[in-house]
Structure 1
Amino acid sequence: MAKRSSPQPTDTRGQHGAIQLPGLSIDSYNLVIHDPEGDGFIGDRASQTAFRDLLDAARKQRTGKDPFGKEPSNEIGKKAIDLVLVGGDPDAAHLVHIAMEEYAQRLAHVVRCFLAQKEWEGVERIVLGGGLPESKTGGLAIRRAMRLLKQSRAGVDLHILRHDADEGGLLGWVHLLPGEASKHHDAFLAVDVGGTNLRCGIVEHRLGREDDGSKARVIEHMQWRHADDEPNRGEAVTRLAGMLNGLAAQARTLGVKLAPFVGIACPGQIQEDGSILHGAQNLPGDWEAPFNLPQALSEHLDHIGDSQPAVVMHNDAVVQGLSERVRMRKARRWGVLTIGTGLGNASYTNA
């Protein structure tokens, strides 16, 4: 993440890629660490894709019949893998345990690599989000990585996201919501765009009950698995706009006073104009600059009340990490790693 040369205000909520919030600075995100042993990035070793590759490698090294049959590892559902560990075929369970152990070793190594970067110096706690930690298999592998890090005296604690990862990329926007939007409205629209799914929701901030955002909730949501449809960029933008317009209409039906604000969490490095500099390679079509998603999307959005909604962009790992800000308040420096199609990352400092 490039440093900005001009002095920054203490509150940049409502701006694309905001890095200064009241009581918190976002020190880095989308940090790129090249893998010295390959052509990719070090984070690729601990992605959800990496776990499937490890399971596939274990299956190829087995002797005898493959207990998973002919189904490719990347097509076996997380629930199916979890069921293997609770009374499934013993041979299949053995293969999963082999993959889990290797994955735990890799995750611990990746964490140590991040801690060695100046942007992560002094990080005491790391939130682990994304789809993998939610599964039983992923949870066991992460707990093993925790023990490995403790044994090596890495000086960091790992914490699995306490709520559904699908909601983390929406709830975190409460901390990025401009003051005027929260004071005069009950809720807002939020989007989490990943390499496989696109999720939209109505987020009720409930800052009047708890000003730390801990009472926020998603009251309605929609999800589209775009990876199955393989849309081009234009089709994806049109579909996203339709989902948001539908949720806005639903808010009116529910009597929810919606702010004219849409927060979009998306992979990549977000520029000051809302375009994506790099890191959006897993999204449908070419989403990187000069393409500007906020501008393209705004053309298709209905007014909310009497206003055209403001569309604000930020990195998805940043937003998911912010959803756990309350739990991290006792740590001066903390970070987040989101384990999905890739491995997202961000680091923060509490004031």
Structure 2
Amino acid sequence: MAPKTVPPHLADAHGARELPSVIVDGYSLQLRDKDGFAGDAASQTAFRALLEQWRKRRRQKGKDDPFGDVASRDLSKKELDRVLSRKKASEGADLLEGAIEEFAEELAHVVRRFLREPSWDKVQRIVIGGGFPESDVGERAILQAAMILQHMKVRVPIARLAHEVDDGGLIGWVHLVPPDMLAAHDAILAVDIGGTNLRCGIVKTRRKKAEDLSQAKVIQRMKWRHADDKPSRRGLLDRLSEMLQELIDYCAQKEIRLAPFVGIACPGRIRDDGSIARGTQNLPGDWESDTFHLPSELSKKLPTIGGAPTTVRLHNDAVVQGLSELPFMQDVHHWAVLTIGTGLGNASYTNTPGRMERLEKEARAELAARAKKAEQAEKAAQAAKAARHAKR
């Protein structure tokens, strides 16, 4: 079990910013430029809009559209990758190359814009996550953006997630679990709710293999492309609880020591009480309502796990995905993540190695001082009592 001296706010707060070995300097920044929010130009949605513009210009010239009548937003990643990977040159590939180049320029502009923010000005490395980079089209766009940044003499390198993209938003939760739960169990449940997909899985901590949690692994996962079904907010929660129950049953069957914990990552600004302040416009329904509290709603559907009350914690999806990289960012002091999905997520961090040890030492010193003070008070009380008896 974790020491009782660990401050509670490090163990179980929603949207926690101060963690044992890292501080979240900022996240879900909404940067404005003359055209609106800067991040809107560097999302997967923005790329599809650029592709549609390239196709429209071609049609206006009286030329055939190689993608036919299918809207750009409805073209699958696999289909786009197939067009791009053909050995022979094609009109479809030319359109894609044009959209990729334009998107890369927008992404480079957005990166430079973030680096001017106070919470980003010391960033030494940027990790790119989200669903867009998992495609060949997305990977090429990011590589081109990195080259543009080098040409601009921006010295901050861009890196890819060490984990599979689908897993990063789940694995990051191992760094946010209350320490006593982490010590007493082998696995946790994690959820990543995006504007297009809902992912959930069983994350094994594998602490015996790596104390820094660098070997944490998703051993069972489920994915639902909810954007196709267009569920209500309640419908999404109902389906989520069913998916989680399947994972709980799987752990029971495999005799996996599952912690009574569910970590939920979603877009937006998370208040410390677990409500969502803003940023959920891509999710179905109103998630920012004063009468809606996601952790409580899920706790009602899954009140216990393994006979213990269920703890549900909420945090921003970019923060969680970035935290999956924490063990691999120990060679830098300041770093950040951009998640390119339906929208653009962002978070920045400062590593604080030894911070937990210092906090525990300070807490032990404070407890020792209190104990000494109490002992002195007890001795003074006994001396006063003895003096009263002597007078009698």
- With normalisation by structure 2, the TM-score equals 0.85
- Structure 1 residue ranges without an equivalent (≥5): 1-7
RMSD over aligned CA atoms reads 1.5
- Relative to its length, the structure with more helix (as a share) is 2
Contact 1:67 1:89 (8 Å CA) reproduced: no
Tell me the secondary structure at the aligned position of residue 20 of structure 1: coil
Find out whether 1:55 has 2:56 as its counterpart.
Answer: no
Question: Which stretch shows the higher mean deviation, 286-295 or 82-91?
Answer: 82-91
How far did residue 289 of structure 1 move? 3.9
Who is 2:215 aligned against? 215
How far did residue 269 of structure 1 move? 0.5
Who is 2:67 aligned against? 68
Find out whether 1:84 has 2:83 as its counterpart.
Answer: yes
Cα distance in 1 for residues equivalent to 2:224 and 2:156: 36
Percent identical among aligned pairs is 52
How far did residue 9 of structure 1 move? 5.6
Tell me the secondary structure at the aligned position of residue 341 of structure 1: coil
Who is 1:3 aligned against? none
How far did residue 338 of structure 1 move? 0.3
Question: How big is each residue's C-alpha offset from its partner over 1:16-72, in whole Å with a ceiling of 9 and x where there is no partner?
Answer: 01111112100101011123223xx11010000111111111111124111111111
Question: Which residue identity is paired with 2:17?
Answer: I
Question: Which residue identity is paired with 1:93?
Answer: A
Aligned residues: 342
Question: Which residue identity is paired with 1:218?
Answer: V
How far did residue 301 of structure 1 move? 0.5
Who is 1:240 aligned against? 240
How far did residue 164 of structure 1 move? 1.6
- Aligned match for 1:20, one of 12, 18, 21: 18
Who is 2:142 aligned against? 142
Question: How big is each residue's C-alpha offset from its partner over 1:90-141, in whole Å with a ceiling of 9 and x where there is no partner?
Answer: 1111010000100110000000000011111111111100111111111111
- Structure 2 residue ranges without an equivalent (≥5): 1-5, 353-392
- With normalisation by structure 1, the TM-score equals 0.94
Cα pair distance change 1:10/1:181, threshold 3 Å = closer
Who is 1:4 aligned against? none
Contact 1:59 1:95 (8 Å CA) reproduced: yes
Contact 1:170 1:201 (8 Å CA) reproduced: yes
After the TM superposition, which residues 1-351 of structure 1 pair with which residues of structure 2 at under 5 Å, given as runs?
12-38=10-36, 41-62=37-58, 63=61, 64-87=63-86, 90-290=90-290, 291-351=292-352
Q: Deviating runs (4+, > 4 A) in structure 1?
A: 8-11
Cα distance in 2 for residues equivalent to 1:286 and 1:267: 13
How far did residue 231 of structure 1 move? 1.4
Question: How big is each residue's C-alpha offset from its partner over 1:160-202, in whole Å with a ceiling of 9 and x where there is no partner?
Answer: 1232211111000011111111111000100000001111111
Question: Which stretch shows the higher mean deviation, 159-168 or 250-259?
Answer: 159-168
Cα pair distance change 1:10/1:24, threshold 3 Å = farther
Cα distance in 2 for residues equivalent to 1:111 and 1:49: 17
Tell me the secondary structure at the aligned position of residue 16 of structure 2: coil
Question: Which residue identity is paired with 2:302?
Answer: L
Question: Which residue identity is paired with 1:83?
Answer: R
Tell me the secondary structure at the aligned position of residue 79 of structure 1: helix
Tell me the secondary structure at the aligned position of residue 168 of structure 2: helix
Cα distance in 1 for residues equivalent to 2:299 and 2:178: 18
Contact 2:214 2:328 (8 Å CA) reproduced: no
Tell me the secondary structure at the aligned position of residue 141 of structure 1: helix
Contact 1:9 1:20 (8 Å CA) reproduced: no
How far did residue 10 of structure 1 move? 9.5
Question: Which stretch shows the higher mean deviation, 252-261 or 287-296?
Answer: 287-296
Cα distance in 1 for residues equivalent to 2:79 and 2:306: 45
Cα distance in 1 for residues equivalent to 2:184 and 2:176: 16
Cα distance in 2 for residues equivalent to 1:341 and 1:140: 18
The structure whose Rg is larger is 2
